[in-house]
Structure 1
Amino acid sequence: MSDVLVSADAQVPGATVIRSWKTPIALAVFTVLFAVLLLAAPRSGGATTFRLSTQSDLVQLPDLVVPVMPTAWACCVLVALLAAASAYFVRQVGKSPLWIVIVSVIVLVVGFLAWAAEGGAVPIPGLLAGSLGLAVPLIYGALGGVIGERAGVVNIAIEGQLLAGAFTAAVISTVTGQPLLGMLGALVAGVVVAFILAAFAIKYFVDQVIVGVVLNVLVMGLTSFFYSQVLQPNGEALNSPPRFDRIPIPILSEIPVVGPVLFRQTILVYIMYVAVFLVWFGMFKTRWGLRLRAVGEHPQAADTVGIKVNATRFWNVLLAGAIAGVGGTVFTIGNGIPFNKEMTAGAGFIALAAVIFGQWHPVKATLAALLFGFASNLQNTLSVIGSPVPSEFMLMLPYVVTIFVVAGVVGRSRAPAADGLPYIKG
Structure 2
Amino acid sequence: MGAHSTYSPKTGIGRWVDARMPLPRLVHDSFVSFPVPRNLNYAYTFGGILALMLGAQILTGVVLAMHYAADTRFAFQSVEKVMRDVNSGWLLRYLHANGASMFFIAVYLHIARGLYYGSYKQPRELLWILGCIIYLLMMATGFMGYVLPWGQMSFWGATVITGFFTAIPLVGEWVQQLLLGGFAVDNPTLNRFFALHYLLPFMIAGVVVLHIWALHVVGQTNPTGIEVKSKTDTVAFTPYATVKDALGMIVFLILFSYFVFYLPNYLGHPDNYTIANPLKTPAHIVPEWYYLPFYAILRAITFNIGPIDSKLGGVLAMFGAIAVLFFVPWLDTSRVRSAAYRPWYKLFFWLFAINAIFLGWLGSRPAEGAYVIMSQLSTLYYFAFFLVIMPLLGLFETPRKLPGSITEAVLAKHGGHGAALPQGAAAAPEHKG
Query: TM > 0.5 between the two?
Result: no
TM-score by length of 2: 0.28
TM-score by length of 1: 0.29
